[in-house]
Structure 1
Amino acid sequence: MNAEILTSIFNKFDHQSNYVSHSELNSGHINDTFLIKSDGNKDYILQRINHAIFKDVPGLVNNKVLTSNHIRSKYPNLSHKELNKTVLSFVKAKNTDFYYHNENGDFWNVMIFIEDSITYEIVKEEEIAYEGGKLLGDFLNLTSDFDSSKLIDVIPNFHDMSFRYKQYASSIQSASKARLTKAAKYIKIVVALKNEMHILQELKEAGEIPVRVTHNDTKISNSLFDKDNKGICMIDTDTVMPGIIHYDFGDAIRTICNTAAEDEKELSKVEFNLEYYKAYEKGFLEKTKDSLSETELKHLPLAAKTMIFIMAIRFLTDYLNNDVYYKTNYEEHNLDRAKNQFKLIESFSEKLSI
């Protein structure tokens, strides 16, 4: 996207600064995100929210702002400047909404960029895993007293396993013979794991695991660190909505404990890193153990396996549907992602005997 268009959009927000330059950030599958350098004392994140995926963008933005404001309220002694370095801070558009809706139908929002911060696509040190666990634990603790019913379901049935199986079954019916043939090995695995992969959903529906505010996209690249590798905050809160802690813990483990990127084609490089699992769990439990029930604690390992699986089945479903959801760079990109996650499940099951 060219500078003129981005400048025009950026100027729809009340940041009291001017565009200088931009760079695109490519960590997500869904939205388009840009770092805007300004002539003021702050830089900004400008994001186009994919309204083909997120059907209620105003509701989504409201979720993000409400959650951020609640977290900000937990730091009454921090100055405004310090808060902006600790918690996500959203900028209003000049029409006073926290988003801008342009004539093309696109929705945009702006956040203050947290200076001297870094993210990781892959964890390479136990310290990062440990700090990541503390970050998620903090996020869940800071939002534990927020009424999750005030949030919309940004993506209904997002982690609902029955829904994902229905989507998958539909993709089987409509898929080409060529894609079915290439996916045959993994189709058998999906059938074999069906009962085990519904356990957490059944506990949630039975009320044995409480519903609370959850992040719902806790891959390690959504944890923000400082230059000393200490955690700052969780970012990319587009999917904040009601859920169970197992969704968040499991999805974090899925990315933190994969020894390779999630689209690595060479499956011999894909292993489950047990040391990182233990480090992340340690940090997470330091922040949450006293507030979790026995049932919640018992099912943390299953949460990891379940969330690895749900990504595997989503990637596989999208491949069978001819790649209509995730951004892809080549024809079998989603199939490679699915293979990667199924290999991770295999390694996880071997190392934790689950």
Structure 2
Amino acid sequence: MKDTCNAAAQTLTEVLAKFATAGTVAGIEPFGSGHIHDTYWVKTAESTSPDYLLQRVNHHVFKDVPALMENILLVTAHLRNKLAATPEANPAEEVLTLLPTRQNQAFYQDGDGNFWRMFLFLQNTRSYDLVETEQQAFEGGRAFGRFQALLVDLEPGLLHETIPHFHNLQSRLRLFDLALVHNHEGRAQETAAEIAFVQERAETMLGILTLGQEGKLPLRVTHNDTKFNNVLLNAQDLAQCVIDLDTVMPGYVAYDFGDAIRTTVNAAPEDEEDLAKIQVNLPLFEAFTKGYLQEAGTFLTEKEIESLTMGVTLLPFIMGLRFLTDYLGGDTYYKIKHPGHNLQRARAQFRLVQLLEEKQEHLGAIIQKTAQNCRLTAQGQS
């Protein structure tokens, strides 16, 4: 075990040497709660030198890492340029900064085929896996709404599709059907209720995709992974920076809104085992919606605003479907902490879908009222 730890430390040290860092490394430790990449906080000894985040990119999930990194360079440059022209903005603090390699590349590929990248570490920031206050919810909504608004003039077609058909429900359902056929270790037999849950709702949940295919919803540059912990807040719990840009690509705004709501209004973790603890916090929903529409309401079409309600149930449904598909296929995508972890995650997401379905009409009314208020406020300021 000691030899394994020493080998891992040596690998990290060798990788660090490939990047144009400043200062003396004082420590390297695992960082964050992400499911996909391996992330390390690189601390430096000197107060004049920044700390860094080093990541080994999961190239089994993101099969074209160079294309992914091109997206990140394009998006961060666009955000930085837009903020530079905005009074009181601070691009260095509000946009992720990639650190180049000593060969001036955006990433380093080691001899084993692993891809590595580094970001400047944003000091005095925090993220939350669970939303604790309405202020936090509002700031999360404001952060993602502003992110979309700043990118509204970036042509979606310039971005690579880093995970093809990521939120495409038709594609997800096809993968689900394949996993059912594969039926790893006979797992379909123990998940009959979850399989029926998916099949009962599959057609209804295709609404956003259908509207998009009919040209009634425009493609935008969207984040596509708007978990609340992908917003960094400052010491005053004000939104500072949207992070985890791996899935920024063309999409529909309702995807971002729905995924953010999924992790904002539920007080329980996304893998909560006790389904009775899963609830929908309406004040948090209202606060997030207000923050989001305050920023994004200026460019959204009426049809996009209507679609937000559909996104609220669609995204936890898709996440539950993805967890269930991975479980049926043998747990090959998500990191798991124990056997059955993906099934536990799927059950938690499906319970959230049920609760959101029960409140869907009320949630839609909140969205419409908030959008109207934001429009009136904007008209009063013009």
Same fold (TM over 0.5): yes
Unaligned segments of structure 2, at least 5 residues? 363-382
Q: Which shifted more, 216-225 or 169-178?
A: 169-178
Q: Aligned runs of 1:332-347 on 2, under 5 Å?
A: 332-347=340-355
Shift of 1:83: 2.8
Question: What amino acid sits opposite 2:341 in the alignment?
Answer: H
Alignment match, 1:7: 13
From the CA coordinates, give the structure whose radius of gyration is larger: 2
Name the CA distance, whole Å, in 1 between partners of 2:214 and 2:52.
43
Given that residues 54 and 155 in structure 1 are in contact (C-alpha distance below 8 angstroms), is that contact kept between their aligned partners in structure 2? Answer: yes
Alignment match, 2:151: 143
Change (3 A) 1:206 1:11: same
Alignment match, 1:19: 25
Unaligned segments of structure 1, at least 5 residues? none
Which string of whole-angstrom CA distances, capped at 9 and with x for unpartnered residues, describes residues 107-160 of structure 1? 011000111000000111111110000000110011111112111000000001
Q: Does 1:124 align with 2:143?
A: no
Question: What amino acid sits opposite 1:166 in the alignment?
Answer: R
Given that residues 10 and 19 in structure 1 are in contact (C-alpha distance below 8 angstroms), is that contact kept between their aligned partners in structure 2? Answer: no
- Return the match for 1:33 from 26, 30, 39: 39
Q: CA RMSD in A?
A: 1.6
Alignment match, 2:304: 296
Q: Does 1:102 align with 2:91?
A: no
Question: What amino acid sits opposite 1:314 in the alignment?
Answer: R
Given that residues 83 and 90 in structure 2 are in contact (C-alpha distance below 8 angstroms), is that contact kept between their aligned partners in structure 1? Answer: no
Shift of 1:195: 1.3
Name the CA distance, whole Å, in 2 between partners of 1:19 and 1:302.
48
Name the CA distance, whole Å, in 2 between partners of 1:223 and 1:117.
10
Question: What amino acid sits opposite 1:300 in the alignment?
Answer: L
Q: Aligned runs of 1:171-210 on 2, under 5 Å?
A: 171-176=179-184, 178-210=186-218
Name the CA distance, whole Å, in 1 between partners of 2:112 and 2:71.
24
- Return the match for 2:339 from 331, 346, 349: 331
Alignment match, 2:99: 91
Shift of 1:84: 2.2
2:28 is paired with a residue of what secondary structure? strand
Shift of 1:78: 8.4
Question: What amino acid sits opposite 1:4 in the alignment?
Answer: Q
Question: What amino acid sits opposite 2:9 in the alignment?
Answer: A
Which string of whole-angstrom CA distances, capped at 9 and with x for unpartnered residues, describes residues 258-314 of structure 1? 120011101110112222111111100001112111100011111010001000100
Question: What amino acid sits opposite 2:11 in the alignment?
Answer: I
2:295 is paired with a residue of what secondary structure? helix
Runs of 4+ in 1 over 3 A off after TM superposition: none
Q: Which shifted more, 159-168 or 143-152?
A: 143-152
Q: TM-score w.r.t. structure 1 length?
A: 0.96
Given that residues 141 and 292 in structure 2 are in contact (C-alpha distance below 8 angstroms), is that contact kept between their aligned partners in structure 1? Answer: yes
User: How many equivalent residue pairs?
Assistant: 353
Given that residues 3 and 21 in structure 1 are in contact (C-alpha distance below 8 angstroms), is that contact kept between their aligned partners in structure 2? Answer: no
Which string of whole-angstrom CA distances, capped at 9 and with x for unpartnered residues, describes residues 322-353 of structure 1? 10100001110000000000000111112234
1:236 is paired with a residue of what secondary structure? coil
Question: What amino acid sits opposite 1:22 in the alignment?
Answer: I
Q: Does 1:218 align with 2:226?
A: yes
Shift of 1:26: 3.5
Q: Percent identity?
A: 37
Which string of whole-angstrom CA distances, capped at 9 and with x for unpartnered residues, describes residues 22-49 of structure 1? 1212311110011100134210010110
Q: Does 1:158 align with 2:198?
A: no
Q: Does 1:232 align with 2:240?
A: yes
1:37 is paired with a residue of what secondary structure? strand
Question: What amino acid sits opposite 1:279 in the alignment?
Answer: A
Q: TM-score w.r.t. structure 2 length?
A: 0.89
Alignment match, 2:70: 62
Given that residues 93 and 241 in structure 2 are in contact (C-alpha distance below 8 angstroms), is that contact kept between their aligned partners in structure 1? Answer: no
Name the CA distance, whole Å, in 2 between partners of 1:289 and 1:83.
23
